[in-house]
Structure 1
Amino acid sequence: MSLGRGFDIYVRLPADYDPDGPAYPVVYLLDGDSLFPILAANHLFLTYDEGLPEAVVVGIAYGGFDASVNRRGLDFQSPDEGLPLDQAGAEAFHTVLTDELIPIIEARFNADPKRRILFGQSRGGNLVLYSAVAHPDFFWGRIASNPSLTPGMGSIIGRAAPGGRDDLRVVVTSGEQDRADLRAEAALWIETWSSRDKAERPWQVRLIPIAGGTHAANAPDAYRAAILWLFGEDRPGD
């Protein structure tokens, strides 16, 4: 890959996967080392209990948590004032997603390019929101679960790149027992973008509190609440 290092990629196919039928939405999970085993399986239960559409679920993993292989601190870091460019790898990592990984997934599986979803937790949530601001049209839905946005707020709170779609959605979930500073950052991001004119904001935005939610342990609750809103018919308007 262009980063000079590889990733472990995990793919969960729908139970009734049909390579020749209607194309499936695809959910791309950052931090796949930890989140893929939890959320890929949980998606099946959501189809059983909630009527959620089946999806291809892709986990993007480093192969471990040791700093020698896990570079999430670099890859999920968006630019900010005073931050050296060599420490902000969000754009380079996003290019790996858009130009290298996702074309392979969409060539190999029956995937719908109009319904891509990106999920990130904590610093992964920062990458999700950077993607929304810098490359709005690429993912239909984005979920930032308890995002950690400092440093990096400078590049995700300013002007968004122009978008050409009118169906884009961004969800930020915030655990009620998460750190106060992270909850404040999430609220600030939502408040800032919600107050802007539609011409400046290429997506619908929604903040979903997770009752009793902590920073990481409630990722399935965040996923459930957010993805049901993404696919729900009764989505709040702007």
Structure 2
Amino acid sequence: MKKSMFLILVCIFSAVSYAQVKYETFRSIKLDQSRDLKIQLPRNYTKNEDKTYPVIIVLDGDHLFEPVAGNVDYFSYWEDMPESIVVGIVQRKTREEDCRYDLAEYVPEGKGSEFFEFIGQELLPYINETYRTAQLKIIVGHDYTANFINYFLFKDNPIFQGYINLSPELAPPMGERITNVLTGAQSDLWYYLATATNDAENIKKDLVALDEKLSVLENPNVNYNFDNFEESSHYTLVGRGIPKALEKIFEMYRPISKKTYKEVILPLETSPYEYLIDLYDTTEKLYGFKRQIRINDFIAISTAIEKNKRWEDLEPLGKLAIKEHPETMLGHYYLALGYEQLGEPKKALRSYENGFLLKEVAFLTKDYMLDKVNKIKEDFGY
């Protein structure tokens, strides 16, 4: 019993240590007051000294930070999104003043204007200077704060590329302004909007009307998604909206799925290798950072190459795998298989032998590579 309890405690403390949540107090000149922040760093932040991370700013951080941070940690653990830095701004006593707008022009005024400048001119520069941040910035809000995050969308060069609007309580002209901005957007933007069947009636009505306009948007720079959750309320939709938003924003980041392999890659008339290159080039452009090509994505592409007998693609794929994963057998195996199928047994033998000395990976073992070496020697009398 004592041993079981000890193991449970170890697991609990290990889980807590992974979270890496920091609590800071930031002194703002713009607001002339201090603000409490919650900051979650990626699990391996201290180890990966050369890696940069997207930043997700969460308003209503006193209650919205934990569900956002938890989903980010979970999604990134399974490589469905990049590891990210999550920053929550605690607003329990200040949210109404923070998000205040005037009733004539419907733009931030007073403390609302100061809070807007605090985020753009103080908080983000501080996060960029203190932590290793990538270009991609996302902001999240709920009802009153979700309306507020859209003011950043109206800047000539928006500092945020992703907007997660959870049941926003829109100011009167906000829907029209959002439509106009997204229609003319010149850079990549992700815009997520959520309501629910049991949401506040006035909010739901406005958001359904806004969706009717945005759903016919024809701007390739804008990735727009909307959810109207059945049987959820103004508050419970948050738990459903956050993972859906992250899933949509990072749709192109996820590993190649079985569905994509069967429906897109396998029927390709062009090179699967070029598809892989284009996929990672596109995600680098979209998200603003370069990432290592996954082992599983290499395997998906190589399987398609073998199925379609495009043996000439294996040499460039092998060289790319050696560059991306030099410690493993993978690249040398692709080179060897390509040479073998193209009738160059000596080159194939040398590549199999080179791979044999490296780290096993996926289905490739030392025994498997040795069998390949021996088979060529036997067939060709080497």
TM-score (norm 1): 0.80
Q: Summarize deviations over 1:14-72 as a string: whole Å, max 9, x none.
A: 1111452331111110000111123212321223457222111100113xx3xxxx221
**Residue type at the aligned position of 1:117:** I
Counterpart pick for 1:215 among 209, 228, 234: 234
Residues 1:91 and 1:187: Cα distance change in structure 2 (over 3 Å): farther
> C-alpha displacement at 1:202, in angstroms?
7.2
Alpha-carbon contact 2:199-2:234 (below 8 Å) kept: yes
Preserved CA contact (<8 Å) 2:106 2:173 = no
- Match of 2:173, SS state, is helix
Residues 161 and 23 of structure 1: is their aligned pair in 2 closer, same or farther, counting only changes over 3 Å? same
Equivalence for 2:74 = 45
The 5-angstrom pairing of residues 74-153 of structure 1 reads 74-81=97-104, 86=109, 89-112=111-134, 114-134=135-155, 137-149=158-170, 152-153=171-172
Q: Which amino acid aligns with 1:224?
A: P
Paired position in structure 1 for 2:59: 30
Range 160-169 or range 176-185, more displaced: 160-169
Corresponding residue for 2:202? Answer: 181
Shift of the 183–4 alpha-carbon distance from structure 1 to 2, 3 Å rule, reads same
**By how many angstroms is 1:197 displaced?**
6.5
The separation in 1 between residues aligned to 2:157 and 2:207, in whole angstroms, is 19
| Cα 1:24–1:71 shift into 2, 3 Å | same
Aligned-residue CA RMSD (Å): 2.9
Structure 1 pair 80/190, CA: closer, same or farther in 2 (3 Å)? Answer: farther
Deviation of the 1:95 alpha carbon = 1.3
Q: Which amino acid aligns with 1:153?
A: P
Once the two structures are TM-superposed, the CA of residue 5 in structure 1 deviates from its matched residue by 2.1
Which has the greater radius of gyration? 2
Question: Do 1:147 and 1:182's aligned partners in 2 also have CA atoms closer than 8 Å?
Answer: yes
Q: Residue 206 of structure 1 corresponds to which residue in structure 2?
A: 225
Of 4, 12, 15, the match for 2:43: 15
Paired residue for 1:232, among 240, 246, 251? 251
Is residue 11–residue 59 contact of structure 1 (8 Å, CA) maintained in 2? yes
State the distance in 2 between where 1:162 and 1:5 align: 38
Q: Which has more helix, going by share of residues? A: 2
| Secondary structure at the counterpart of residue 86 of structure 2 | strand
Q: Whose RCO is larger (CA < 8 A, sep 6+)? A: 1
Q: Which amino acid aligns with 2:68?
A: L
Q: 1:78 to 1:229 in 2, by over 3 A?
A: farther
- The secondary structure found in structure 2 opposite 1:225 is helix
* Segment drifting more, 15-24 vs 171-180: 15-24
Residues 59 and 44 (structure 1 numbering): CA distance in 2 closer, same or farther, change over 3 Å?
same
Q: Check conservation: 2:73, 2:83, Cα contact below 8 A.
A: yes
**Change over 3 Å in CA distance of 1:49–1:213 after alignment to 2:** farther
* Alpha-carbon distance change, 157 to 30 in structure 1, aligned in 2, over 3 angstroms: same
Once structures 1 and 2 are overlaid, which stretch shifts more, 29-38 or 73-82? Answer: 73-82
8 Å Cα contact 1:208-1:226 kept in structure 2: no
Task: Tell me, yes or no, if the aligned pair for 1:122 and 1:147 is still in contact at 8 Å.
Answer: yes
Contact 1:169–1:205 (Cα < 8 Å) also in 2: yes
Q: How many equivalent pairs are there?
A: 222
166-175 or 27-36, which moves further after superposition?
Answer: 166-175
Query: For the residues of structure 2 that align with 1:50 and 1:231, how far apart are their CA atoms?
Result: 10
Quick one: percent identity of the two aligned structures? 22
Q: Distance in 2 between the 1:135 and 1:59 partners?
A: 25
Corresponding residue for residue 55 of structure 1: 84
Instruction: Provide, for residues 125-149 of structure 1, a one-character-per-residue CA deviation record: whole Å limited to 9, x for no partner.
Output: 1012222234662101010001111
Alignment-derived partner of residue 3 in structure 1: 31
CA contact (8 A) 1:130 1:155 kept: no
Q: Post-superposition shift, 1:178?
A: 1.0
CA spacing shift, 1:183–1:81, aligned 2, 3 Å: same
CA contact (8 A) 2:102 2:109 kept: no
